[in-house]
Structure formats: structure tokens, C-alpha cells
Amino acid sequence: MQILITGITGRVGANVARRFLDRGDRVRGFVWPGDRQAEKLKLLDAEFFEGDLRSLEDVAAAARGCDWIFHMGAAFQAGGPFTHEQYFDTNVKGTFNVLEAAVGLGPQLKHLFFSSTDATMQKYLPGGIPEPITETSLPLVTTAWYGYSKVLGEHLVDRYVRADRVPATVFRFAAVWGAGEVLKFQQFRLSHFIKEFAGRSDDVGKAMHARLSKLAGGREKLVIACDENGRPYKKHCVEVRDLVHAFDAAAGKPSTLGKTYQLGAPSAFTWDKVIPYLATRLEIPYERVNIEGAAPTFYEYDMTAARRDFGYAPKVDIFKTIDDALGFERDGKGEVIPTRVTGSAPPGRAGSGR
């Protein structure tokens, strides 16, 4: 197959490209001119097309002759800061241009994937979310521009599927970890919560800030964060390799067309299981704290649809993610290409994707 990958220089795009090249497919990567991340991909036997996602002419030229399109290019929080206009132009108009190019390919196009995000949903509610979240459990409501641009992108895909019969699938990623990133996850650290409460002027907020600061004692510590009733936080993320597996398993599957799938790790994790393990590996002390005056992190995803329709079988749990991250930090080696979004794209450019 001839595949176009927008956002090929991102941590997901780069690894997906490598997997499909290894399968024997031909890969064309859409990159903005001067993308510093592109230098890291020279070892990949891929074709690179320089262009601007805002330009339908550029996107259509890049898509010419392609059987599959994996649209991952986006202005993403980690690569910013971006203005509201940049989020709209790159993520919304860029997605419109990709879909218009898809229509132009006619029957040659067999499959298009749109990479979305769980940032489209409001997951941080008082009391948490006790039941596993399906693709339709929560409304797509967010005011953050990155997540909202992806809401609009999903709506655009739905319109082109129904009106123009574009063979498209939406992948809604959980929070993504690449090589080594779990070790820097701020919500595992006491300092994160101290900063979160530093600007609070209410009595509960001020009391929490004082309590957390006292527990820290001027040292960096990890934290078993719990809600006000002592229930440990719970979160569902996904490691890059499991996303690569998802694209590999779903590409070309008619059963996935016109559908949206939530993708995550084999299971969610809780702070009380992860923090003692991580503290031992990093040799950092930890505290257990009930966080009051803030909506807790407590959710997980139901991935029944992905398992049923294309055999999604993620393998990389939180403990393997930590072990491999430590190995990567120690040896500079890893099972994934260590590409990260490290700088902002020029206005209107494709961005590095996720």
C-alpha cells in the first residue's frame, strides 16, 4: 500500500511509519519545511513531502496516489504555545483539507484514519467517573483549544463519511507516553500539587497548599494522590507501541469504517500501585495524601469495541512502561523511536503530531 502520514515526525507517527515500512508498504510523510524533527527520521526509508496543512493544494499533492491516509499532523499542546488561530487553521482547516483530498482520490482511497484524543471529553468530575468510559459515554465538550479543535475534527470526519462516503476511522487516543516520558509525569510528584494550590485564595486551597508544602519539607517526593475520601487516583494512558499495534491491526479492516474507537493501555492504573514501585526504582520518597478542594483523576476506558472490531490487544502496561523508560534513560535505547515534540511549529505549519 502507498500510505500518506501527516505528523510523521511525532512520536506516534514516526513509529507507525517504521512499522508499515517493515511490513513492506510505501510511506510518504507530510512535513512542514524546516521541521527539525525530520532529521531524526533519515534512517527510515520513507518519502518526505514538504507542505502546509493549511493549503489544500499541498495536501492534495501529497495524497496523490495514496491508498491509505493516516492523519496525525496537528498543533499539539506539548509543541506550543499556539494561538487560537493556529489551532483552528492547523487542526480544523488542516483536517478539512485532508478530507477534501480524500474525496479527490475517489475509489483509490481505501482507508483514512483521523487521530483524535480523549481531551475531547470532560473526564475530571467531582467524585470521578466510576464506570468504564465507552466511545459514547461522555459528550464531546471541552473549552481548551486543542481538545475543541479535535471535537471539530471528529465532526468533520463524520460529515465526510456520511455525505461523501469517505472510508474513515477515528482513533481517540488516551494520554500518550513515548520513550522515557512516564518518569517525568508531573502528577506523580508532590511539587505538582503544591503548584496547583499555590494560587488558591479559598480556605480549603490555602490549607492544602500549607499541608503539601509541609509534607514536602523542601524535597522532591512522589505522591499517592487520593480523593478527599482516601480513594487513590486512577488514570488510563497508552504507550506508543500499543498505538502502533492499533494502526497495524485496523488498517484496511472494513469493520472499522465510519466508527470511533477509544485506545488505551491494557488497563488503567492507580496511584497506590504505581507510586511505591516507581519510588523504589527512582529511589525517591513518597507520601500518601488526600487531595481536597479539587476534582480527582479517576477514570478508565472500555475498549470492547476495538477488541471486537479489529482485535485490539494492547500489551504495554504501566509497569512495563516504567521499566522500559528507565532502560531508555540509562542506555539511550528503547523499543520506540525517541521522537518528542520539543519546539513549536511555525504559524500554520503541520506541527509534529503526537
Question: Given a cut of 50, is residue 150 above it in pLDDT?
Answer: yes
Instruction: Tell me if 11 is assigned to some domain.
Output: yes
Distance CA 251, CA 253 (A): 6
Decide if 258 is inside a domain: yes
**Entry pTM:** 0.91
pLDDT value at residue 345: 34
Provide CB contacts within 8 A for 103, sequence distance 6+: 160, 164, 166
Is 325 in a helix, a strand, or coil?
helix
Chain center to CA of 328: 20
Q: Is the pLDDT confidence value at 162 over 70?
A: yes
pLDDT digits (tens, 9 = 90+) for 297-346: 999 999 999 999 999 999 999 999 999 999 988 776 544 444 333 222 33
User: CA angle, 167 as apex, 164 and 171 as ends, to 5°?
Assistant: 120
Residue 29 lies in a domain: yes
Task: For residue range 249-303, list pLDDT tens digits in order.
Answer: 999 999 999 999 999 999 999 999 999 999 999 999 999 999 999 999 999 999 9
Closest CA to 274 of 303, 312, 237, 315: 237
pLDDT in tens, 8-23: 999 999 999 999 999 9
Total domains in the fold of the chain:
1
Q: Provide the angle, in degrees to the nearest 10, between the axes of the packed helices 145-164 and 94-105.
A: 20
The tens digit of pLDDT for each residue in 49-92 reads 999 999 999 999 999 999 999 999 999 876 668 999 999 999 99
Q: What percent of the chain has pLDDT over 90?
A: 85
Report the CATH number that the domain containing residue 81 is assigned in CATH. 3.40.50.720
Please provide the distance, in angstroms rounded to a whole number, between the alpha carbons at the two ends of the chain: 23
Q: Which residue has the cell 455525505?
A: 163
H/E run at residue 324: helix 318-331
Whether 349 shows a pLDDT value over 60: the answer reads no
At 106 the pLDDT is 98
Q: Is residue 285 part of a domain?
A: no
Q: Is residue 174 within 8 Å of 116, Cβ to Cβ?
A: no
Distance CA 285, CA 296 (A): 22
pLDDT, one tens digit per residue, over 184-206 is 999 999 999 999 999 899 999 99
What single letter denotes the amino acid at residue 32? W
In a domain, 346, yes or no: no
What does the mean pLDDT of the chain come to?
A: 92
CA–CA gap between residue 74 and residue 97 (Å, rounded):
13
* Max CA distance (Å), the chain: 64
Q: Grid coordinates 488503567 are at which residue? A: 268
What pLDDT does 252 receive?
A: 97
Range of 28's domain? 2-179+237-267+301-320
pLDDT of 332 reads: 63
SS3 sequence of 150-219: HHHHHHHHHHHHHHHCCCEEEEEECEEECCCHHHHCHHHEHHHHHHHHHCCCCHHHHHHHHHHHHHHCCC
Question: What integer pLDDT is reported at residue 353 of this predicted model?
Answer: 59
The reported pLDDT for the residue numbered 36 is: 66
Q: What share of the chain is helix, strand, coil (3-state, %, to 5)?
A: 45, 15, 40
Please indicate, yes or no, if residue 254 is contained in any of the structural domains.
yes
Mean pLDDT of 28-56: 86
For residue 33, is it within any domain? yes
The three cell numbers of residue 328 are 531508555
> For 132-150, what is the mean pLDDT?
95
Please check the confidence at residue 119 and state whether its pLDDT lies above 60: yes
